[in-house]
Amino acid sequence: MRRLNMIALFLLCGLIETAFSSASEKLGPTFEPVNEIPEGKAVVYIYRSDNFAQVYIVRANGQNLINLRSSSYFPFVCAPGSIQFTAKVKFKFGSTGLLNKAWSAEKSIQLEIKEGKVYYLKGFPSYSPELTQRMELIELDPEEAIAEIQHTHLAPSN
């Protein structure tokens, strides 16, 4: 029983540490669309409208884009083509990080980006049956996404 209490205490400490570390960084202004899409480019808005404390690392074709926090968005201006977006919790359990891989999983979505178009990728936290943390990524139609993204703030750059 004492061992179970110690495990619960370590879990609680890790969650508190994650909450305070992600809340300390300020978000930018509320959502503003890109005024003009550059020629030969497209825009993918990646956003979260939830209030969970975890920070998620978002990548495009393996390159880090942004550390996405709750209620934040990031306008990704990119060339057309096939892009794989991945997200993984930026998770450090306590000071050791020993359980990071066991408790976080990477999720991805592939988009075929067309020149001059605007895309909306919504991220939201979820858990597997094994309690692995992850951020699901889904593409939303503009009407639904615009209603949600209006309440988000620009994510601070990495």
Rounded to the nearest integer, the mean pLDDT of the chain is 80
Q: Which residue has the tokens 């990548």?
A: 59
pLDDT at 8: 46
CA distance 62 to 15: 27
CA distance 155 to 119: 17
Q: What is the pTM of this model?
A: 0.77
Domain ranges of the chain: 2-154
pLDDT in tens, 82-137: 999 999 877 655 544 545 554 556 789 999 999 999 999 999 887 766 666 677 89
CA distance 154 to 28: 5
Cβ atoms of 97 and 89 closer than 8 Å:
no
How many other C-beta atoms can be found within 10 angstroms of the C-beta atom of residue 151? Answer: 12
